[in-house]
Structure 1
Amino acid sequence: MASFLLETPRLRLTELAEDDAGFALALLNTEGFLRHIGDRGVRRLDEARRYLREGPLASYAEHGFGLWKVTRKADGVAVGMSGLVRRDSLPRPDLGYAFLPDYTGQGLASEAGAAVLAHAFGTLRLPQVLAIVSPGNEASVRVLAKLGMREWGLRDFEGETLRVFTREAGPAPE
């Protein structure tokens, strides 16, 4: 079991491992993930293990951060992922999150996101964190607003225009 990295009143965020392939397979194939984040082509456990190795695990090794597994403290159930993603197409890391459908609408994305931002600005001393949102994902826009992020503009990502949000280090703006 991975040691926990971040803790909130209800959640623990830990590094993902290849043993989390079943969870990743389920999350990456939810309707919300496919519609708002994209199809990663992960349909089998071996593909989920490859996704974890080449995505989050490689990011931990290269950048010291990545997407982390979010579990409920009360029962240890994995409910989603949240963390920082480093993309060549963005000047700074971006905040990412996705939750299984049974765990959306409960404030978990905001709670996990706040912990990730605190870690980004505190421990990692990042000067800025970005976030990207697909058109029509108003639930995600509400999460980012709650986290003190403000819209920065539109950007083309592989033929898709996405909304970019930003927050600089320091306390969240009111």
Structure 2
Amino acid sequence: MADSDFPPTFSIPTEHLHISYFQPDDPAHAAFLVQLWNTDDFIQSCGKTGIDNTEKAAKFLRNQVQAGYKRNGHHQFLVSLKPHVGATLSESKPIGIASLMKGEPPNAYSRPDIGYTILPDQSGKGYATEAAASLLEYAQKSLGIDGVFGFCGKDNKRSARVLEKIGLEYRGQRKLKLFGGSESAVYALKGMDQDLKVYGVDDDE
């Protein structure tokens, strides 16, 4: 797929949000990624990424995010808050990321996993749930995705609640190879096979 297949005007609109493609050549997108990924809240949850300036952020968006769009049709999406009902994407302000990610074989499970992170001053308002639910609906209806995982820290109750609200169910804790063997809570979309080995998910033991 060409870059033009991921236009800057594309949006999945929700009641309060716009979910859109990241644009590597948009300085505001790179600056927002630096801001979000260097908040104390994000670092505590996900660790340091090393992306601490806009040049690194733009490179990441081009080499990783855009590559994911081209490979799978999805990756990390920008979440923007509407200032008023019916506001356009260009009027809205970035507040987070909603992601639907699948690695590159052989280092990938057979279904993508959904994730989300919101700026601390906008968290606790339901935006993560709203964004994740809408991205999941888009993935099912427009991309034909029939199964989705959710992974979070075993003690991350806030993320677990979001996963449950959007229709995923708890499948236990596993030491996931793709996450360096760290123990994670595993969620899967209701209706997916109970045997996670079917999807390539297994303990790192």
TM-score using structure 1 length: 0.90
Q: Which runs of 5+ in 1 are unaligned?
A: none
Could you tell me how far apart the structure 2 residues matched to 1:29 and 1:139 are? 20
Q: CA deviation at 1:138?
A: 1.0
The 1:169–1:113 alpha-carbon spacing in structure 2 relative to 1, beyond 3 Å, is: farther
Q: Confirm or deny: 8 A CA contact 2:112 2:148 kept in the other structure.
A: yes
Q: Confirm or deny: 8 A CA contact 1:79 1:103 kept in the other structure.
A: yes
Q: Confirm or deny: 8 A CA contact 1:150 1:167 kept in the other structure.
A: yes
- Matched AA of 1:165: Y
Q: CA deviation at 1:135?
A: 2.7
1:52-71 pair list within 5 angstroms: 52-71=61-80
Instruction: From the CA coordinates, give the structure whose radius of gyration is larger.
Output: 2
Among candidates 74, 87, 95, match of residue 79 of structure 1 = 95
Aligned: 1:167 with 2:189: yes
Fraction of identical pairs, as percent = 30
Residue number in structure 1 paired with 2:17? 11
Q: Describe the superposition over 1:2-51 as per-residue Cα deviations: whole angstroms up to 9, x where unpaired.
A: 11331101100110012211000011111222122232111111111122
Figure out how many residues of one structure are paired with residues of the other and give that number: 170
- Matched AA of 1:163: A
Q: Which runs of 5+ in 2 are unaligned?
A: 1-6, 84-90, 193-205
Could you tell me how far apart the structure 1 residues matched to 2:136 and 2:191 are? 9
Could you tell me how far apart the structure 1 residues matched to 2:70 and 2:46 are? 23
Q: Which structure is higher in strand share?
A: 1
Q: Describe the superposition over 1:85-133 as per-residue Cα deviations: whole angstroms up to 9, x where unpaired.
A: 1123422101011111111000000000110110111111111000110
Q: Describe the superposition over 1:55-98 as per-residue Cα deviations: whole angstroms up to 9, x where unpaired.
A: 22111111111111011122511000102011234221010111
